[in-house]
Structure 1
Amino acid sequence: MKYVYAFRRSAYYPFNRQGWRNLPAGNALNSFLEKVSGMGFDGIELGLDYFSDDINEAKDEASELQKLLEGFGLPCIALRGGGGLALPKNAYRNLSRLETMIEIGSVLKVSVINTTATIQSRKIGVVSERGGKNPHGSSRDASHEDFERLAASITTIGEDASKVGIILTLEVHQNSIIDNSWSALHFLNMVESKNVFLNPDLGNVLWNYDIPEENIEDCIVALAPYSKYWHCKNLQRIHIPELGHSYFVRCPLPDGDIDYRYAIGAMIDADFNGYVAIEGATDGDFITKDLKSLMYMKEIFNGFK
C-alpha cells in the first residue's frame, strides 16, 4: 500500500501565507519536504493551480519540482483539478484544463489525475454548499444528458491519460453528479474507457446533505471494487434539526464519525491496490494531526494482513 499526503495547510515556519493546498515557499519548502518524507508518506498530491497558466512555464516548473521531490523520496503521485464538462459555455475551457493536467502530470511523472464531475446548478433560490437540504449541482438535479455529455468527455480524457501511463480517477464529491454510490457507478458504467476509476471520498458523502443521503458503510462496499485512489478525511457531524442543517468539524481519521476500520476492511476485501491519500488538517498543528491519521491507517491496513 502506498500513502499519499494530500496536505491541506501550507503554513510551515517561517512561511506564513494564509491559504491551503499549495507547497510552502522559500526556506520553508525543503524543511517541509524533509518532515513529510520522515513521517512515512510515499508521495504527495498537488493541485493544478500550483502551476503557471502558461503551459510552457508550467512544464518547466513541473520539471524542476519533480527533481526536487524525487530528491526527498517524495514524488508527486497525484495531480488534482478540472471542472464541469456538461455545459457548452465552460466545457471547452475545463476540458482544456484536463488536457493540461495530462501534460503537466507526464512531466511530474504522476500516477494519478484526480478530478470531479460537476454541472451548473439548476436550482432557484438558496442552495447549500455542505450540510444543507438543497445542495447545488447534485445527482438529484442532473439529467440523463448531463451524464452522457460528461461521460463522453471523461472517456476522451481517460484514453489520453492512458497513453502516458496515468490513470484518471473521479472523486465522489459534494455538489457534483457523482455524490453517492449509485450515481458514481451509473456514471462509471457510461464511461467507455478502462483507464477511469473512482475515488470514494466518504467525507464528501457525509457532508453533502444535512442527513447523509447514504449509509457510509454501504457506500464504501459498493465503490471499493472500482477504486484506485482514496481520499481519506474524517468529520464530526453536528446536526441542528431546527435549522435543517448540519455542521462539520474536521478531525484526524480515528476521531470522526466515519468508521475507517470498516472501510479498510471493505477495500481489502475488494483487493484494493491503489493509493491511500490522507487529506490533511486545515488548521492548527497539521503535521501532528496528519501523522496521527497516517499511523492509524497503517496500523489497520497492516492488521488485516
Structure 2
Amino acid sequence: MRTAEDWPIAAAMLSMGDASPADDGAGTSLRRWREDLIEVRGAGFDLVDLTDSWVPYGDLSPEQLRGLKECLSEAGLAAASMSAIRRSVTDPDAGADHLAYLHRCIDAAAELGASVISVGLHRALTDEQRNRLWFWTATGHVDDVDDPDAWSLAAARFRELGEHAGASGLLLSLELYEDTYLGTAASAVRLVEEIGLDAVGLNPDIGNLIRLSRPVEDWRDLIEQTAPYANFWHVKNYARYESPGDGIYAAVPAYLESGVIDYRACAKTMARAGFDGVVCVEHYGGDGLSMSAANRDYLRTRVLPAAGPVSAASRVRQPNPREGR
C-alpha cells in the first residue's frame, strides 16, 4: 500500500536554471551538477525529476551520463523521473529531430534509474513569450484541431516512444499543455486511448491550463477526466482572478495550498482512480526550490494522508473507465 510517508515526491530541476555541459571541459559541468544536486538535497529532497531545461539528457555523451549518475549518488539523490519539455514530435521543422532526441532521453532515463519520462506537444517559446514576465500570458503555437494528419502523426510517434519506454521498463507520460492536442481533458484522453499502450498515460499538469489569461476548463473537470489515465503528476498552483465582464483573466504562481486548485480534493480524486505514481513539485518565479520544498511538506503532511493509502498498482496506464459499458 502506498502511504503519505513513502509516496515518491520529486523536486523538479526546473528551478536550477540551465546547466548544459560546459565547453571548457567535463570538470566544470560536473562541479555545477554536483553543486545543484547537493542544494536540492539540502532542501530535504531525496528524489529529483530530471527536467531537461537543466541538462539536455538526450544530448549527453556516455561519459557525461556516467558523470551525472555519479553526481546524483554523491548528493544522496535518486532520479525518480525525467521531463523532456518543448520537444514536440509534430513540429514540422524539428519534429523528427525531437523524436530522435526523446528516444535518446528514454535510454538516458533508464540508465539513470528513472521510472517514467514525461513528454508533450508544446513547442519552443516565441520571442513574445520570452519577453513577458510570465510566458503564459502570450499565446504560443496552436495545434490545428482540424488537421487529421498532424493528430495521427502525434499518436504514431508517441506510440513509437511508448513502445521504446515499455521495452526499457519505463512509463511514458503525456503532459497536459494549452493549445495542443493535450490541451483539453477530452482531447488528451482521446489521444492516449488512440495510442492504446499500457505504458503510455497522462501527466495531468492542470496548472498549465489554469494559469491562462482567458476562460479555462474547471480544474475539477480536468482532474476527474484525466485521473483514470494518470501515470505521473506535475503539481503547481496559481492564484487566479477573473472578471469576465471586464475581459480580465490573470494568474500568478502560488503555494499549492493557497492557489485556486484544491490539491486536497485533487489527491482524493487521483487516489480513487488508483494513481500511485511519482509526484513532481514545480514552481515558477522567486525561490522555486524553497517553494517546491514547502509544497512537498504540504503534500506529505496534510494532503496525501487525507487521500488515504492506495494499493500499489502495476506501473501501467489506468483502465479506460468506459470499458465494459
Query: Into which bin does the TM-score normalised by the smaller protein fall?
Result: 0.7 to 0.9
- Is structure 2 residue 233 aligned with structure 1 residue 230? yes
Distance in 1 (alpha carbons) for counterparts of 2:57 and 2:114: 19
Which residue in 2 is equivalent to 1:15? none
Instruction: State the Cα deviation string for residues 156-199 of structure 1 (Å, max 9, x = none).
Output: 11101112112110000123211121011010111032211110
CA, structure 1 residues 42+176, in 2 after alignment: closer, same or farther (shift >3 Å)?
Answer: farther
Structure 2 unpaired stretches of 5+: 1-6, 21-27, 125-133, 309-325
Contact persistence 1:130–1:174 (CA under 8 A): no
Which residue in 2 is equivalent to 1:271? 274
Per the TM alignment, residue 100 of structure 1 is displaced from its structure 2 partner at its CA by 1.7
**1:5-154, aligned counterparts within 5 Å?**
5-10=11-16, 20=17, 22=19, 30=34, 32-51=36-55, 55=59, 57-81=60-84, 83-118=87-122, 130-131=136-137, 136-138=141-143, 141-154=145-158
CA, structure 1 residues 195+266, in 2 after alignment: closer, same or farther (shift >3 Å)?
Answer: same
Give 1:162's match in structure 2, choosing from 166, 187, 195: 166
Question: Which one scores higher on RCO, CA 8 angstroms, separation ≥ 6?
Answer: 2
Distance in 2 (alpha carbons) for counterparts of 1:47 and 1:22: 11
Give 2:292's match in structure 1, choosing from 249, 265, 290: 290
AA at the equivalent of 1:77: A
AA at the equivalent of 1:114: S
**Length, aligned pairs only:** 284
Distance in 1 (alpha carbons) for counterparts of 2:93 and 2:248: 32
Distance in 1 (alpha carbons) for counterparts of 2:122 and 2:113: 26
Distance in 1 (alpha carbons) for counterparts of 2:45 and 2:219: 26
CA, structure 1 residues 289+51, in 2 after alignment: closer, same or farther (shift >3 Å)?
Answer: closer
AA at the equivalent of 1:103: D
Which residue in 1 is equivalent to 2:179? 175
Per the TM alignment, residue 208 of structure 1 is displaced from its structure 2 partner at its CA by 3.6
TM-score, with normalisation over the residues of structure 1?
0.81
Runs of 4+ in 1 over 4 A off after TM superposition: 21-32, 49-55, 240-243
Contact persistence 2:120–2:174 (CA under 8 A): yes
Instruction: State the Cα deviation string for residues 98-131 of structure 1 (Å, max 9, x = none).
Output: 11212222222221111102479xxxxxxx9635
Contact persistence 2:19–2:55 (CA under 8 A): no
Per the TM alignment, residue 302 of structure 1 is displaced from its structure 2 partner at its CA by 1.9
Per the TM alignment, residue 97 of structure 1 is displaced from its structure 2 partner at its CA by 1.4
Percent sequence identity over aligned pairs: 24
Contact persistence 2:30–2:67 (CA under 8 A): no
Contact persistence 2:121–2:181 (CA under 8 A): yes
Tell me the C-alpha RMSD between the 2 structures.
3.0
CA, structure 1 residues 118+54, in 2 after alignment: closer, same or farther (shift >3 Å)?
Answer: closer
**1:248-267, aligned counterparts within 5 Å?**
248-267=251-270
Distance in 2 (alpha carbons) for counterparts of 1:172 and 1:237: 19
Higher mean displacement: 111-120 or 258-267: 111-120
Give the secondary structure class of the aligned counterpart of 1:288.
helix
Contact persistence 1:131–1:246 (CA under 8 A): no
Give the secondary structure class of the aligned counterpart of 1:258.
coil
CA, structure 1 residues 8+224, in 2 after alignment: closer, same or farther (shift >3 Å)?
Answer: same
AA at the equivalent of 2:172: L
TM-score, with normalisation over the residues of structure 2?
0.77
Higher mean displacement: 141-150 or 197-206: 141-150
Per the TM alignment, residue 223 of structure 1 is displaced from its structure 2 partner at its CA by 0.9
Contact persistence 2:240–2:249 (CA under 8 A): yes
CA, structure 1 residues 207+38, in 2 after alignment: closer, same or farther (shift >3 Å)?
Answer: same
Which residue in 2 is equivalent to 1:124? none
CA, structure 1 residues 244+129, in 2 after alignment: closer, same or farther (shift >3 Å)?
Answer: farther
Give the secondary structure class of the aligned counterpart of 1:137.
coil
AA at the equivalent of 1:269: R
Give the secondary structure class of the aligned counterpart of 2:227.
helix
AA at the equivalent of 1:249: V
- Is structure 2 residue 230 aligned with structure 1 residue 220? no
Which residue in 2 is equivalent to 1:4? 10
